[in-house]
Amino acid sequence: MRLRLLLPLAVFGLLVVFLYKGLTLNPSEVPSPLIDKPAPDFSLTRLHDPVAAISNKDMAGKVWMLNVWASWCVSCRQEHPLLVDLSRRGIVPIYGLNYKDTRDEAIAWLQQLGNPYLASAFDADGRVGMDYGVYGVPETYVIDKQGVIRYKQIGPISVDALQNRILPMIRQLQEQA
């Protein structure tokens, strides 16, 4: 009789613990299964030159950032000034992955807001974005000299994330052999 009364109470207590844990998580810090794994290979046309290709192999041997963006993305506009400033400072090469966009609208967007990217790959159908586990744009990846993903930022980069997480990691990775 006593077990019959305690079992529902124990189940309820367990549910409360899981609910509390879930409510304290930061949704922008979704763990990625790709962290510490080689970045998926890709070869796409360049946004500004549909005849030329760009591949992640082009970045071999250097620490670099891959920023997934689109002209239709409101949050991309929010983080864009930070990327432009970071690009001007020359701390790390930034490459873009233009995601599920049109070439003309993406080029116009960069002409209007500035282009922080050394190059942007044009991922019209989102296939490469899916390989990288993109939940939505913007997303940013830090990739080391060996081509391994070391960090994933879901959502727009903030000043805090840039200064306290991304840049220290980039500096540390650049110092490694």
CATH superfamily of 29-175: Glutaredoxin (3.40.30.10)
Give percent of the chain above pLDDT 90. 79
Cα–chain-centroid distance for residue 61? 20
- Domain boundary assignment for the chain: 29-175
Confidence of residue 19 (pLDDT cuts 50, 70, 90): confident
Arithmetic mean of pLDDT over the chain: 91
Residues 6+ apart with CB under 8 A from 11: none
